[in-house]
């Protein structure tokens, strides 16, 4: 033993150990490339452009911010309880997502020249157009919601970040419209059926037409809408109700949608939207203001003397979209009869009568639906039992909106002509498709009186696009938010609640804007909220984190 452990051997061993143990300190991530020379091949451009199809890249509002929907869960309440502040999550989250998208677009726009010589020109231009479309989309949302915001067209290094100031809203919109024009020029008209369906000219036109309308650029809006109407690929899907279900996913009406697939984990949970009897929370409810906005089948407002409307039988003889969009008493969804005034209801699937948790009469926990109404649009019988893995696509832009944009833009331009009436009537005609197929007619709009037509178009947008997230901006741009969102919101009629109850005790009164009001029946109903909409909320505040990290951004008035 001692021989082996002599000094020399130990020294040799120690040296060998020391040599082999000097650690290599150059360690790099093995899962992701670093940015150094990215964007320099066609493949790299492609994967970078693929990022523009992620869901947060599509800024949207929800009708929960508006007078169409009440969410008991609290979404949007801040906006009409008057309690929002610059720290509210709504303002921060959308802002952050928009700028995240802008930066990714700017990174690509800035560095993609590296791949210019190794990429076919049309492909390179197409990816550039996709980036510009994405960036424009964000800026249009920001400008319409927050007013003046920082306009960044290049990636900004941290050192320069604090020198940024806000840019005038109009300049931002000009830039976005210019970017969209580039996209319209260089994006393809369509793709082969087997190809990956990326953005097309139509995508850019749809965004352009919506936001041109939002920013009162009626000429641009009408022009873009006209281009889509002349596009030759879009038409209204014949069945309004099915458009929002599995069957309608490939409809020619859809311009931009977010594809969903439960197999890939891209799915939604609709538990808040469906009946308690089906395992839901019945939390998202259409307001009475929304259902009373649906016309009667004669095309008249329900308070019209000529209208065949009875508040005792309020869901008969109405615009067919009412029953296709809203789950009304006596109707069924998910194989369950919806009976907000019955202690028991019938389960079609199990073929038996069950205790009705959706009725105030048998739900002792006070958690039945606040209005006795749910949405039906977008929900089907098949979703029962699998409401957490719903993968019906989310439609963001569709052709019916285009037609209504055209009609409204032309109206506001003072160019009321037959094409305006045709556009509205195309939308209304589809709503009555089944009636027409059975030999009936639909209530055609014939008036050319601007005042009347304006009320009709606004009502048409409200019902055609109900619960699609467009109502909030409509209220803002029509300057109606402080009217519509400044009144008590009523819920179910609580007076003398019984199995024989009706929803209403009188016909609502309509104000000068064509909005239904309920002051005269308020004592008979549960009041859901005393809404308050402060004037300052027309323009959202610069989020707290921004005005703190860069105080020279300033703040919008009133915040």
Partner 1 sequence: MIITDNVKIADNTIFNFFANFFKEEFMPITVLMKWRILLLSMMGVFLWNTAIAQQQEQITISGTVKDPDGIPVIGANIIIAGSTTGTMTNFDGGFKLGVPANSKIIVTSIGYEDKIVNVGTSTELHIVLIEAQEQLNEVVIIGYGTQKKADLTGAVATVDAEVIAERKTPQLSQALQGSIPGVTVTRDSGAPGSTGDILIRGQTTLNNSSPLVMIDGAPGDIDDVDPEDVQSLTVLKDAASAAIYGSRAAAGVIIITTKRAKEGELTVTYSGDVGIQRPTTLPEMVGVQDYFRMQNEYKENDGLAPLWDPYYIDNYRDNSAVNPDLYPNTDWQGELLKNNAVQQRHNFSIAGGNDVVRSKMSFGYSSQEGLIPNYNWERYTLQLNNNIKINNKLKGALDMYLRQSNKEQPNEGHHSNSFYSSARTLPSFYPAYWSDGTFADGKDGQNPVAFVNKGGYKDNQTNFARFRARLDFEPIKDLTVSAQLAPKFNFNNTKSMLKVIDYYDLEGNWIGNTGKSQDKLTDNRKESYSINQQYTITYNKKINKHSFSILAGYESNYYREKTLEAERIGFVLPDYDEINAGNVDMWSNKGGQNENALSSLFARVSYNYKNRYYVQSNIRYDGSSRFHPDHRWGFFPSVSAGWNISNEEFLNSVDWLSNLKVRGSWGRLGNQRVGNYAYTANMSRSNSYVYAGGEVVPLTSYAQQDMAIENITWETTEGYDFGFDAAFLDDRLNVNFDWYYKTTYDILLKLDIPLYLGYANPPLQNAGVVDNQGWEISMSWRDIINDDLTYSIGFNLSDNKNTVVDMKGANQLGNQVTMEGQEYKAWYGYENLGYFGDDHADHAKLTGQEQPGDIRYKKQPGGESDMINAEEDRVVIGSSLPRYTFGANFNVNYKNLDFGLVLQGVGKTDVMLSNAQVQPFSGSFRNYPAYIAGNYWTPENTGATYPRLSDQGSKSNYQKSDFWLVNGAYMRIKNITLGYTLPKSLLKKVGVKKFRIYASVNDLWSFNHMPKGWDPEISSSDYPLVTTYMTGVSLKF
User: Cα(224)–Cα(241) distance, rounded to whole angstroms?
Assistant: 27
Six-digit token string for 458 = 């606004």
Q: What is the closest distance, in whole angstroms, from the C-beta atom of residue 4 to partner 1 in the complex?
A: 6
User: Cα(17)–Cα(184) distance, rounded to whole angstroms?
Assistant: 66
User: Cα(472)–Cα(234) distance, rounded to whole angstroms?
Assistant: 26
**By CB under 8 A, residue 498 contacts partner 1:** no
User: Cα(359)–Cα(498) distance, rounded to whole angstroms?
Assistant: 10
User: Cα(362)–Cα(359) distance, rounded to whole angstroms?
Assistant: 6
> What are the residues facing 530 on neighbouring strands?
488
Six-digit token string for 349 = 């699937």
| 443 CA to centre of own chain | 29
**By CB under 8 A, residue 441 contacts partner 1:** no
| Interactions with partner 1, residue window 399-428 (CB under 8 A) | none
DSSP 296: B
Following CA atoms 148, 150, 153, 155 in sequence, which dihedral angle do they give, to the nearest 10 degrees? Answer: -160
**What are residue 149's phi and psi, to 5 degrees?**
-140, 165
- Other beta carbons within 10 angstroms of residue 317's beta carbon come to 14
**By CB under 8 A, residue 550 contacts partner 1:** yes
CB nearer partner 1, residue 254 or residue 403: 254
Six-digit token string for 404 = 């209504």
Q: Give the x/- contact pattern for partner 1 in 231-260, rule: CB under 8 A.
A: -------------------x-------xxx
Q: What is the closest distance, in whole angstroms, from the C-beta atom of residue 138 to partner 1 in the complex?
A: 10
**By CB under 8 A, residue 446 contacts partner 1:** no
List of residues 6+ apart from 72 with CB closer than 8 A: 281, 283, 284, 285, 370
Contact range with partner 1 by CB under 8 A, out of 104-112, 214-222, 285-293, 374-382: 104-112
CB nearer partner 1, residue 271 or residue 380: 271
User: Cα(212)–Cα(224) distance, rounded to whole angstroms?
Assistant: 9
- Site for partner 1 (CB under 8 A): which residue of 386, 447, 449, 479? 386
Helices (H), 83-191: 89-111, 121-146, 158-161, 169-186
**What are residue 285's phi and psi, to 5 degrees?**
-125, 140
User: Cα(484)–Cα(79) distance, rounded to whole angstroms?
Assistant: 12
Q: What is the closest distance, in whole angstroms, from the C-beta atom of residue 316 to partner 1 in the complex?
A: 29
User: Cα(218)–Cα(259) distance, rounded to whole angstroms?
Assistant: 31
Q: Give the x/- contact pattern for partner 1 in 108-127, rule: CB under 8 A.
A: --------------------
**By CB under 8 A, residue 228 contacts partner 1:** no
User: Cα(282)–Cα(303) distance, rounded to whole angstroms?
Assistant: 29
Q: What is the closest distance, in whole angstroms, from the C-beta atom of residue 197 to partner 1 in the complex?
A: 4
Do residues 296 and 320 lie in contact, with contact meaning Cβ atoms separated by under 8 Å?
Answer: no
CB nearer partner 1, residue 31 or residue 498: 31
**By CB under 8 A, residue 89 contacts partner 1:** no
Q: Tell which residue, 74, 186, 79, 69, has the closest CA to residue 122.
A: 186
Q: What is the closest distance, in whole angstroms, from the C-beta atom of residue 122 to partner 1 in the complex?
A: 19
| Interactions with partner 1, residue window 263-302 (CB under 8 A) | 263-266, 269, 271, 276-277, 279, 281
Q: Give the x/- contact pattern for partner 1 in 160-199, rule: CB under 8 A.
A: -xx-x----------------------------xxxxxx-
User: Cα(409)–Cα(176) distance, rounded to whole angstroms?
Assistant: 19
For residue 376, give the 3-state DSSP assignment: coil
The residue with tokens 């919506």 is 210
| Interactions with partner 1, residue window 454-493 (CB under 8 A) | 488
**By CB under 8 A, residue 367 contacts partner 1:** yes
Can you give the C-alpha Rg of the chain in angstroms?
Answer: 28
Q: What is the closest distance, in whole angstroms, from the C-beta atom of residue 118 to partner 1 in the complex?
A: 17
Q: What is the closest distance, in whole angstroms, from the C-beta atom of residue 150 to partner 1 in the complex?
A: 5
Contact range with partner 1 by CB under 8 A, out of 103-111, 174-182, 200-208, 438-446: 103-111
User: Cα(154)–Cα(103) distance, rounded to whole angstroms?
Assistant: 8
Q: What is the closest distance, in whole angstroms, from the C-beta atom of residue 212 to partner 1 in the complex?
A: 24
- Site for partner 1 (CB under 8 A): which residue of 42, 50, 511, 519? 50
Q: What is the closest distance, in whole angstroms, from the C-beta atom of residue 283 to partner 1 in the complex?
A: 9
| Interactions with partner 1, residue window 12-41 (CB under 8 A) | 12-14, 16-18, 20-35, 38
**By CB under 8 A, residue 150 contacts partner 1:** yes
CB nearer partner 1, residue 149 or residue 222: 149
- Site for partner 1 (CB under 8 A): which residue of 42, 74, 165, 310? 74
DSSP 23: P
CB nearer partner 1, residue 234 or residue 294: 234
- Site for partner 1 (CB under 8 A): which residue of 41, 60, 75, 92? 92
Q: Give the x/- contact pattern for partner 1 in 312-351, rule: CB under 8 A.
A: -----------------------------------x--x-
Q: What is the closest distance, in whole angstroms, from the C-beta atom of residue 46 to partner 1 in the complex?
A: 9
Q: What is the closest distance, in whole angstroms, from the C-beta atom of residue 322 to partner 1 in the complex?
A: 27
CB nearer partner 1, residue 257 or residue 424: 257
């Amino acid at each position: 033993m001692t021989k082996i452990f002599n000094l020399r051997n130990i020294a040799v061993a120690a040296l060998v150990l020391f040599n082999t143990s000097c650690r290599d300190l150059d360690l790099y991530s093995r899962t992701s490339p670093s940015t150094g020379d990215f964007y320099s091949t066609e493949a790299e451009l492609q994967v970078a452009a693929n990022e523009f199809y992620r869901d947060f890249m599509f800024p949207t509002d929800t009708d929960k911010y508006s007078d169409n929907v009440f969410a008991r869960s609290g979404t949007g309440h801040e906006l009409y309880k008057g309690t929002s502040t610059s720290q509210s999550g709504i303002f921060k989250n959308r802002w952050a997502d928009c700028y995240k998208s802008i930066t990714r677009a700017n990174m690509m726009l800035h560095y993609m020249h590296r791949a210019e010589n190794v990429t076919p020109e049309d492909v390179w231009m197409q990816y550039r157009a996709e980036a510009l479309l994405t960036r424009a989309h964000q800026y249009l949302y920001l400008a319409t919601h927050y007013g003046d915001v920082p306009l960044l067209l290049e990636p900004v290094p941290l050192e320069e970040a604090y020198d940024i100031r806000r840019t005038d809203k109009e300049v931002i919109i000009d830039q976005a419209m210019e970017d969209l024009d580039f996209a319209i020029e260089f994006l393809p008209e369509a793709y082969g059926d087997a190809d990956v369906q990326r953005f097309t000219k139509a995508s850019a036109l749809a965004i352009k037409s919506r936001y041109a309308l939002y920013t009162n650029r009626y000429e641009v809006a009408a022009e873009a809408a006209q281009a889509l109407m002349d596009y030759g690929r879009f038409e209204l899907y014949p069945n309004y109700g099915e458009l929002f279900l599995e069957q309608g996913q490939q409809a020619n009406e859809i311009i931009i949608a977010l594809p969903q697939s439960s197999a890939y984990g891209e799915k939604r949970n609709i538990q808040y939207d469906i009946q308690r009897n089906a395992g839901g929370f019945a939390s998202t409810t259409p307001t009475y203001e929304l259902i009373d906005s649906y016309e009667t089948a004669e095309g008249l407002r329900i308070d019209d003397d000529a209208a065949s409307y009875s508040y005792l039988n309020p869901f008969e003889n109405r615009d067919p979209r009412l029953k296709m969009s809203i789950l009304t008493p006596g109707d069924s969804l998910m194989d369950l009869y919806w009976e907000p005034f019955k202690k028991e209801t019938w389960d079609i699937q199990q073929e038996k009568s069950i205790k009705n948790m959706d009725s105030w009469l048998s739900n002792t926990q006070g958690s039945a639906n606040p209005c006795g109404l749910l949405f039906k649009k977008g929900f089907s019988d098949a979703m029962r039992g699998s409401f957490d893995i719903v993968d019906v696509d989310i439609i963001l832009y569709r052709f019916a909106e285009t037609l209504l944009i055209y009609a409204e833009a032309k109206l506001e331009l003072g160019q009321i002509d037959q094409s305006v009436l045709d556009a509205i009537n195309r939308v209304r005609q589809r709503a009555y498709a089944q009636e027409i197929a059975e030999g009936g007619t639909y209530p055609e709009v014939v008036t050319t009186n601007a005042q009347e037509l304006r009320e009709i178009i606004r009502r048409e947008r409200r019902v055609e696009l109900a619960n699609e997230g467009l109502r909030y901006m409509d209220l803002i741009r029509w300057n109606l938010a402080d009217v519509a969102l400044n009144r008590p919101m009523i819920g179910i009629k609580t007076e003398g609640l019984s199995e024989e109850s009706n929803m209403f005790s009188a016909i609502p009164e309509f104000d000068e804007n064509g909005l239904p009001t309920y002051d005269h029946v308020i004592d008979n109903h549960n009041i859901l909220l005393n809404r308050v909409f402060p004037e300052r909320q027309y323009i959202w505040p610069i989020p707290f984190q921004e005005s703190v990290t860069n105080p020279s951004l300033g703040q919008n008035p009133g915040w």
